[in-house]
Structure 1
């Protein structure tokens, strides 16, 4: 099969299209999937730059997100059959092969049926960002109808699905964005307020929007000082969740302490990294629930650009350039 191999940590040029042996089913509960598309995520570029979680297993095939057609099933598979269309977040961290390839294997417990209303490219763009937003808002923060939520970078990969999931839940949403075009997008997705953070103090804008009270939940997808500034926009006994490391060098927890805030971190890769089967099954259930939302027209994925598999290095350069709207995928 053809695959993009990461030959060593480094620049995008370490991603090389090569011919490698076909994958085969190793366990009776596995699926062999003929991939049609693979999603590109920031974790891919970080692993390419610094090395994977399994540096002794090189070269590696990156790519956590995939969508394709079941080509073969193990003897004990019950949920799927040959010809089924699936999407999933699995592999790509340096151990189990990722999805920048023509074939993938996955335990049936971790796969979900592809939304009928989405193309393979759209479906491949969705899993990691859906799981991140769902876990952050629902599993970490227990978002409730009527609550107010601040979503940072609401036109980005995670942000644009977080806005929609919050609205579907019945929450009221405001979001920071960088341009008027992105402001229009987040409003179309259901945000009541789009804050151009380069021109406006987002804390003041949030306070004006909430009549001085603050939001119930701040969802940080930016990191750095942005997280700690966000705490100023959260109401007393509210919550803040981030998908990035805390900036410990410049940490200021006084606001969180004085407001009795609950602070959470979200890393949807934890179940895969630690082999937590029940948690990975829960993630597949999340993707099944989101497939229903897609097919009911309640949820959309914004696909910015699709590139051929051979142009994986170009896709990494585009993502690393920043200011991405929505998602990038590779077409296989």
Structure 2
């Protein structure tokens, strides 16, 4: 049986400080799993929440973190297909600390849990949920959530796609999903030194962002295109990259951006815009979330999905603070920072 209390990293309030403290180990409700956390990944939202009044953060002090991997500790009533000791990974829920990452135990609804295949470590698995869901909802979810490419029978041979921020965690998964759907040309905008890595994921061309500024991107992209451009995915999600993505998107094409809202005017060119709200816990997202969760184990096992490169932080919750500061200062590139809680 798990202990009754656990060590957690808590944010005291908006504009407050992080601190470590004990909090209760939650008990799974019917349909849920209690997971002993072995690894968790850090995301930019984890430091942005500290100084922003996010609508979903209603209760403080709060545990943050949305990318979790570990072992099933307790199986809730009515759950089938899971047993104590099963390796699992999942997207955490920042709206409820019992379902968040920066602690030793967390809950997850069993329908949103993903079995971790043998070829994937806890650290690798923890890098997947948030970034992959952003890529998957944007590309695969049915309209109006996303571009509706889920049907794997539909291939895009003879078509091109463009990914701004190809080396970001989201961009890497966008490239892999575009490859899976048969795009003949996948052009990434990223640092030139990432070229070999991005081509190993499926990119066919890389435009070096250090040599081509955003203002010159439409011309540079046109020079690379060998097929009709169907999709532009802004995986950076800033006003500047969304605008650049719009200028690169052809009439009748699709623009997807991870920025939470649309800042561009698409004009009267028949373009479609999607801005995925890739939170599997939201009622409007949950059904498709189940679909993606149901595919991820096989996609990992067969190599359709390749996890991000991991940089493991020292064991313990305190190193999370220096990791978040590195993210805040833009000192992380091409890797995913992964923490591991204090051993129980």
TM-score (norm 1): 0.89
Who is 1:265 aligned against? 275
CA deviation profile, 1:237-283 (whole Å, cap 9, x unmatched): 111011104464xx4x2xx32421111111202x42x444xx32532
Does the aligned pair in 2 maintain the 1:62–1:97 contact within 8 Å? no
Q: State yes or no: 1:317 paired with 2:325.
A: yes
Who is 2:210 aligned against? 198
CA deviation profile, 1:33-60 (whole Å, cap 9, x unmatched): 1110112112222212214435541100
Who is 1:208 aligned against? 223
Who is 2:168 aligned against? 156
Does the aligned pair in 2 maintain the 1:34–1:103 contact within 8 Å? yes
Who is 1:131 aligned against? 133
Who is 1:232 aligned against? 247
Does the aligned pair in 2 maintain the 1:64–1:93 contact within 8 Å? no
Distance 2:242 2:209 in 1: 14
Q: Offset at 1:318?
A: 1.6
SS at match of 2:251: strand
Q: State yes or no: 1:290 paired with 2:296.
A: yes
SS at match of 1:205: helix
After superposition, residues 5-44 of structure 1 pair within 5 angstroms as 5-10=10-15, 14-25=17-28, 27-44=29-46
Does the aligned pair in 2 maintain the 1:175–1:195 contact within 8 Å? yes
The correspondence for 2:186, drawn from 173, 190, 205, is 173
Q: Give the number of equivalent residue pairs.
A: 318
Distance change >3 Å, CA 285–CA 245, structure 1 → 2: closer
Distance 2:320 2:8 in 1: 10
Unaligned runs of 5+ in 2: 1-5, 150-154
Who is 2:337 aligned against? 328
SS at match of 2:62: coil
After superposition, residues 19-98 of structure 1 pair within 5 angstroms as 19-25=22-28, 27-94=29-96, 96-98=98-100
Between Structure 1 and Structure 2, the one with more helix by share is: 1
After superposition, residues 95-106 of structure 1 pair within 5 angstroms as 96-106=98-108
CA deviation profile, 1:1-49 (whole Å, cap 9, x unmatched): 11111112237xx222222222222x22111111101121122222122
Q: Offset at 1:304?
A: 3.7
Unaligned runs of 5+ in 1: none
SS at match of 1:302: coil
